[in-house]
């Protein structure tokens, strides 16, 4: 396994729309393992392949405190959304920035696991929010794009300044 570099907003590659995975092979399984290692090391709860500059529809997630509930979503599609909720979100690609985003309260997602088995998952709460957040990445959208243009501009300025200092 290997740690992957996480792209930082406003890197333009974060706006690349991910292509469907054509075949779940050893390359994809290695990518999944590397994404989990990277996500855990960065202390995140979700990571989309787009964030590590791989533009294929792969997401890993683990909302547990002890890394005991790893979830893999390959070629995920949200088939149903219901309700509305707000949550203060953060993102490994937008370090140190948190803001409130409105999303669906409940979602149904269809995807493949790392063995190519199809599954359907009905999710609510933090899991539903995380699914929507990560699937946004696959569509080339970062959570700050749900915020006002003024907030987006301030975040870009802050992160560009931080990147120049490092």
On whether 91 is known to bind a ligand per the annotation, the reply is yes
Residues 6+ apart with CB under 8 A from 154: none
On whether 137 is known to bind a ligand per the annotation, the reply is yes
In whole angstroms, what is the distance from residue 97 CA to residue 160 CA? 13
On whether 55 is known to bind a ligand per the annotation, the reply is no
In whole angstroms, what is the distance from residue 118 CA to residue 109 CA? 11
In whole angstroms, what is the distance from residue 149 CA to residue 20 CA? 30
* Structural element, H or E, at residue 40: helix 26-41
In whole angstroms, what is the distance from residue 166 CA to residue 156 CA? 16
Q: Which positions are catalytic?
A: 134
Q: What are phi and psi of 22, to 5 degrees?
A: -80, -40
Q: How far from chain centre, in Å, is Cα 96?
A: 16
Annotation: binding site for Fe cation: 91, 133, 137
Annotation: binding site: 91, 133, 137
């Amino acid at each position: 396994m290997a740690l992957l570099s996480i792209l930082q907003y406003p890197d333009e590659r974060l706006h690349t729309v991910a292509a469907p995975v054509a075949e779940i092979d050893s390359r994809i399984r290695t990518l999944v393992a590397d994404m989990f290692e990277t996500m855990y090391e960065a202390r995140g709860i979700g990571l989309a392949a787009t964030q590590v500059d791989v533009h294929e529809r792969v997401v890993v997630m683990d909302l547990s405190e002890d890394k005991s509930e790893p979830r893999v979503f390959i070629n995920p599609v949200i088939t149903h959304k219901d309700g509305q909720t707000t949550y203060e979100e953060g993102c490994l690609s937008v370090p140190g920035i948190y803001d409130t985003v409105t999303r669906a309260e409940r979602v149904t997602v269809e995807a493949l696991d790392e063995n190519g088995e199809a599954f359907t998952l009905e999710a609510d709460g933090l899991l539903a929010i995380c699914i929507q957040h990560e699937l946004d990445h696959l569509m080339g959208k970062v959570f700050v794009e749900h915020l006002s243009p003024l907030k987006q501009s301030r975040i870009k300025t802050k992160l560009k300044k931080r990147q120049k200092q490092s």
